[in-house]
Amino acid sequence: MSRAKKAASASQAESFADDVDTDTDSQSRFAEEISGDVDKLADYGVNVADLRKLKAAGIYTITGIQMCTRKKLCALKGLSDAKVDKIREAVAKASPNKFKTAFEQSLKRQAVFKVSTGSTDLDRLLGGGIESMSITEVFGEFRCGKTQLSHTLCVTCQLQGENGFPGGKAIFVDTENTFRPERLKQIAGRFEMDEKAALDNVLYVRAYTSEHQYEIIEQATDILFESKGAFKLIVVDSVMALFRVDYSGRGELADRQQKLAQFLARLQKLSEEYNVAVFITNQMTADPGAGMTFQADPKKPIGGHILAHASTTRISLRKGRGETRIAKIYDSPDQPESEATFAITEGGIADAKDA
């Protein structure tokens, strides 16, 4: 190898090492923010007993208090209006809300990581994979690969990322009884991972009602706080199934959407507070009015505007030939509208050419 090539190679290696160090530092800074829990408010005059009440309600961090309305805090058992005011004053002193420059925000965004989908083409469509600190929604008809993608992500989130971020664990919230540990074993085998270790790193819970679904996410707060960054992914498959069952007809639509908004808001706050990637699947419904507007596809994702606005990135899936599927960016704040083709294989989601 020539001297010029050796120098270029060394320069690239140093650059990559610097990037990894920067990413690791970003993770460390974010971990420090999480570790700044509500106990620090004792230094600002908040009673220790009141701090215990906050923790009992699943509020462990100062950021978590900022994410709660005054009304919600007052509803907690044992917290009077005066105590809530004192807590909020202490929060303002401990972590004042200040405006940041775009550059300062960009430094915080360095802690964002991507979870690979298992397909390089699909990763490219998403700018690297499923993004942390946000909600990614996929929707499509049955057999489009939504649940298969959910299983694959539970394994790939455990892999060491190219950007230097360590792998982590996953939480799988199952609302339709579609979770299959056998699929995790097959996918883990593809990536040459220990099958038992891969399964041990996925926490599974079955949700039976929309209320139970919300309670599970509240309980997940305890796990995320205690794990100190060990979890990288939360999967909800599917997000709307139980809401469709528990609320029927137009008479209950407003109540359903309100409860759905509260659930999605909690998910979004968890993703930002603990820097995890949230992946939700969604179902489709026929649009009765589509025929009058001459739409090519009369189906649309359910959940209405509430779900559309809550999801940071939305991806539509449709069937291709055989086991191939086509993903299209439906809505994204930073990715252009484009398509990618992937395949459903024994080892999970993969590139279509590898099928």
Question: Domain residue spans in the chain?
Answer: 3-34, 36-94, 112-354
What are the angstrom distances between the C-alpha of 341 and each of 13, 53, 177, 317, 349? 32, 50, 27, 10, 11
Q: Letter for the amino acid at 81?
A: D
Residue 29 amino acid letter: R
Single out the residue of 129, 126, 113 nearest to residue 337, CA to CA. 126
Let me know if the fold of 36-94 is the same as that of 112-354: no
| Sign (positive or negative) of CA dihedral 216, 134, 262, 300 | negative
Query: Phi-psi region for residue 47, left (φ > 0), alpha (ψ -120 to 50) or beta?
Result: beta
Fold type of domain 36-94: DNA polymerase; domain 1 (1.10.150)
Q: How far apart are CA 232 and CA 202, in angstroms?
A: 11
Which residue has tokens 């020539």? 2
- If one counts every other C-beta atom within 10 angstroms of the C-beta of residue 51, the result is 20
- 8 A C-beta contact, residue 113 and residue 232: yes
Radius of gyration of the chain (CA): 22
What is the pLDDT at residue 35? 45
pLDDT at res. 287: 66
User: What is the rounded distance in angstroms from the CA atom of residue 336 to the CA atom of residue 343?
Assistant: 22
Q: In Å, what is the CA distance from 204 to each residue of 15, 62, 207, 220?
A: 39, 28, 10, 11
The token duo for 140 is 């499509």
What pLDDT, on a 0 to 100 scale, did the predictor assign at position 288?
59
* Paired tokens of 148: 């298969």
Cβ atoms of residues 331 and 348 within 8 Å: no
The whole-number pLDDT of residue 290 equals 52
Q: Are residues 289 and 301 in contact, defined by beta-carbon separation less than 8 angstroms?
A: no
Distance separating the N- and C-terminal Cα atoms of the chain: 37
| pLDDT of 165 | 58
Asked whether the beta carbons of 238 and 280 are under 8 A apart, the reply is: yes
Q: What is the pLDDT of residue 3?
A: 46
Let me know: does 310 contact 261? Beta carbons within 8 Å: yes
Task: Provide the pLDDT for residue 158.
Answer: 94
Which residues are within 8 A (CB) of 180 and not within 5 positions of it... i.e. 6 or more apart? 151
Q: What residue ranges of the chain have pLDDT lower than 50?
A: 1-24, 35
Count of positions (residues) in the chain: 355
Q: Tell me: domain 112-354, CATH 1.20.1250.20, correct?
A: no
Question: In this structure, what token pair is assigned to residue 25?
Answer: 């530092």
